[in-house]
Structure 1
Amino acid sequence: MILPAAVLFDMDGTLIDSEPSWMAAEARLAAEFDIPWTADDAESLVGIDLWDGARAFIARGVPLEADAIVERLVGEVIADLGDTLPARPGALELLRQLREQGVPVALVTMSTRALVDRIEAAFAAALGTAPFDATVAGDECERGKPHPEPYLRGASLLGVDPADAVAIEDSFTGVASALAAGITTIGVPHAVDVSRVPGVIHWPTLAGRTPADLAAAIREARA
């Protein structure tokens, strides 16, 4: 069986169901400074570089520095998640198969290293092995999603040609980043619906998916 050269996963909303925690933290920040906050406002921040999101809050009137906003939001999300691992449907099973079949895996997220390390440890405990060969955190990128830098960095760390890899994403900025990096991109909608983005292969869920399905996605993208 021909397998993809590598698989690069987004984290929030793709591997773990953390978007409710992010949205709640953002809503609390807006409420503290009497900023009207709607569902559209919440969706506009899904998947974006955290510092871009912080600057959006500053533009709306939050009198804090961008670093302080990011630190606050990340801290609240970590506290909200606690010791749980809210894995998305099929995520653990697909990761386990990829590890068993020796397919290189990277995590590419706009969350900070503090949250990445916590989630990586939780997946390692659940799988009984290291879940990722490489991780890319948002605070380690000069340009975050939707710029291709995060995914190009992930592919480079794995030593693979982006054209031979697959990315799995749930946000508009995430799929834009992966596509711009030249990676076959699978969109799995969660907080936002990425199913109609041109060039994205739509999967309603990861449940029941296998490494062979990922290889088929590359063939579909090249057809």
Structure 2
Amino acid sequence: MTDQLGAVLFDMDGTLLATEQYWDQALVELAAAWGHRVSAAALASTAGMDLPGALDVVGRDVGVDRTADERAGDAERVLARVTELMATSVSWCPGARALLLACLGDGVRTALVTTTDRPLVTLVLEHLRADLGTEPFEVTVCGDEVPARKPDPAPYRQAMAALGLGPAECVVVEDSLTGSRAGLAAGCPVLVVPAGQGLPDLPGLTQVRTLVGITPDTLAGLLQAAPV
């Protein structure tokens, strides 16, 4: 069945890697520096967002209005803190490592499509290469390399173009509504492990609790079941 699966396009934070918690920690610390406490619901809603969007959510949640210069400083502070945390270690989400290795072992092409910018992704990829002993992705598309970020389909379309494949041959694996909408808008079936978000039922979207037990055959089956 995997012959029908051209490639798997993986999101990074919260999908493959338990790095979403680092962004959450940095945002919590930022709000605390403002003298406030951000709500769990607000943090959950930032999953899949770019950093400016996440800062907007936190600011609204705690009732803080920042100037453009202050927002720029806030973004630098959050990014520096996340980089510090990721430099120490990154850990896999349940089932993610096994699924990625199964794709590589079966000859299924893989791409990483993330809202995170290239410098931080480069750091993460060093961890993954050391852990896996191989290059995990044929293509990587980062947030600072696309004309528009998720939920716009541009990142996934760019990855497919780099692979020379179309949406009928690719499955997207995500953890957020933002990323899922991007994958669906690009024309791909999407498998999502919701990161504390309630996701609506959408055509082409399959929700699972974890990636444990998910295989390339599982993903190939989503292509067969995809709406025409």
Length-normalised TM-score, structure 2: 0.89
The one of 88, 104, 108 equivalent to 2:109 is 104
Gaps of 5+ in 1: none
Residues 1:5 and 1:122: Cα distance change in structure 2 (over 3 Å) = same
5 Å-filtered alignment, 1:24-43, equals 24-43=25-44
Over aligned residue pairs, what C-alpha RMSD do you find?
2.0
Write the distance in 2 (CA, Å) between the matches of 1:189 and 1:212: 21
Instruction: State the SS of the aligned residue for 1:167.
Output: strand
Instruction: State the SS of the aligned residue for 1:222.
Output: coil
5 Å-filtered alignment, 1:41-80, equals 41-56=42-57, 60-63=64-67, 64-80=69-85
Residues 1:22 and 1:197: Cα distance change in structure 2 (over 3 Å) = farther
Write the distance in 2 (CA, Å) between the matches of 1:127 and 1:170: 22
5 Å-filtered alignment, 1:69-218, equals 69-194=74-199, 196-199=200-203, 200-218=205-223
Write the distance in 1 (CA, Å) between the matches of 2:59 and 2:227: 42
Residues 1:34 and 1:197: Cα distance change in structure 2 (over 3 Å) = farther
Instruction: State the SS of the aligned residue for 1:7.
Output: strand
Query: Is residue 17–residue 87 contact of structure 1 (8 Å, CA) maintained in 2?
Result: yes
Q: Would you say how many aligned residue pairs link Structure 1 and Structure 2?
A: 222
Give the share of equivalent positions with the same residue, in percent.
Answer: 36
The amino acid that maps onto 1:83 is: T
Write the distance in 2 (CA, Å) between the matches of 1:183 and 1:65: 38
Write the distance in 2 (CA, Å) between the matches of 1:149 and 1:65: 29
Instruction: Identify which range, 209-218 or 57-66, moves more after superposition.
Output: 57-66
- CA shift digits 1:41-74 (9 cap, x unpaired): 2122111122333455677423445544333222
Query: Is residue 42–residue 57 contact of structure 2 (8 Å, CA) maintained in 1?
Result: no
Gaps of 5+ in 2: none
